[in-house]
């Protein structure tokens, strides 16, 4: 028969889950997403969210309240008569009245192995911290930030040079299949939950907050350890993108570094050790594997170097934060 599902999500990460819920035969009377945002070079164009675009293509009604402080918005949600709410990267804190409105409450698809990496940037922070494994979880939502009991888990390894963008796409696909499984079990009355305190005790995963990324963090200081620098570069790709200043054709440019690998060669920190972008760090070195000049496209290092040769012994200076 299927469930009556209210979907809440905003970025591209949430789109596969919405599509899978509809394909699974569930009824979606309304999709909630954040309002269109200003975009374009001058910020004059209002751009709908990826979830809004996907919902409209599926012929679904879209609602975009700024928040749920207006009682009319809460009443409209309650009037949908939902069996369950599904929330994936919506970007708004939901009041208790919204969480309680569906018959079975609200389920959230979260991109980490809770209780590790609660918060805004779990995918990026897992890479930055050097986690070997991450995953998707379906949890029951409650008032706390990502603190509700967990129903289902799917794990996946993190590759040595995997970027946040690549891991994001893999987890988005995992989120879709996991949520469809959760809804099937919910409909069958077999979906069970485990409290996060018990989960932490069983797995040894301590609660930690995944704070939002900032541009100021993205400046690369090659005076640090190579392992941490490589992790940060991969974690911050594609956005906001780690960066450093490079002298190209006699001009200093801020270049994004979008993929790197730790190596063991030593040298003066910030100096290239060969002509293939092996850069010495405070300890060890990093091989820069993908770069992007201002206004250009991301390019593999070997292709990038054909137009921007950098000889061994070149000094790369960490960019000023901004």
Neighbours of 243 (CB within 10 A): 25
Residue 99 counted as an annotated binding residue: no
Q: Which residues are within 8 A (CB) of 301 and not within 5 positions of it... i.e. 6 or more apart?
A: 276, 277, 287, 288, 289, 290, 291
Residue 113 counted as an annotated binding residue: yes
Residue 321, classed as helix, strand or coil, is coil
Q: Cα–Cα distance between 173 and 49 in angstroms, integer?
A: 18
Distance, CA of 207 to chain centre: 18
Neighbours of 280 (CB within 10 A): 22
Q: Cα–Cα distance between 175 and 168 in angstroms, integer?
A: 10
Which tokens sit at 28?
A: 């979606």
For residue 155, list its beta bridge partners.
135
Residue 112 counted as an annotated binding residue: yes
Residue 49 counted as an annotated binding residue: no
* Residue stretches of the annotated binding site: 112-115
* Residue stretches of the annotated binding site for (6S)-5,6,7,8-tetrahydrofolate: 112-115
């Amino acid at each position: 028969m299927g469930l009556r599902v209210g979907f809440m999500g905003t970025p591209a990460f949430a789109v596969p889950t919405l599509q899978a819920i509809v394909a699974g035969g569930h009824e979606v009377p309304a999709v909630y997403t954040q309002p269109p945002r200003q975009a374009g070079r001058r910020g004059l164009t209002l751009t709908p969210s990826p979830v809004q675009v996907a919902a409209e293509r599926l012929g679904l009604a879209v609602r975009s309240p700024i928040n749920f402080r207006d009682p009319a918005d809460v009443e409209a949600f309650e009037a949908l008569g939902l069996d369950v709410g599904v929330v994936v990267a919506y970007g708004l804190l939901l009041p208790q009245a919204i969480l309680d409105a569906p018959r079975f409450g609200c389920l959230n698809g979260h991109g980490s192995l809770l209780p590790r990496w609660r918060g805004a940037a779990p995918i990026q922070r897992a890479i930055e911290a050097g986690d070997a494994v991450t995953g998707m979880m379906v949890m029951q939502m409650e008032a706390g930030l990502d603190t509700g009991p967990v129903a289902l888990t799917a794990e996946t390894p993190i590759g040595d040079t995997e970027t946040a963008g690549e891991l994001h796409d893999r987890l988005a696909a995992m989120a879709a299949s996991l949520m469809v499984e959760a809804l099937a079990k919910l409909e069958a009355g077999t979906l069970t939950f485990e409290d996060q305190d018990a989960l932490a005790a069983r797995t040894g995963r301590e609660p930690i907050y995944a704070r939002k990324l900032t541009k100021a963090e993205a400046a690369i200081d090659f005076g640090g350890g190579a392992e941490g620098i490589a992790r940060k570069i991969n974690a911050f790709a594609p956005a906001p993108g780690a960066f450093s200043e490079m002298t190209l054709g006699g001009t200093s440019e801020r270049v994004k570094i979008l993929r790197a690998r730790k190596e063991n060669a030593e040298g003066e920190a910030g100096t290239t050790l060969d002509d293939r972008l092996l850069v010495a760090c405070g300890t060890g070195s990093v091989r820069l594997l993908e770069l992007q000049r201002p206004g250009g496209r991301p390019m593999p290092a070997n292709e990038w170097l054909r137009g921007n040769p950098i000889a061994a012994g070149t000094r790369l200076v960490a960019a000023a934060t901004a």
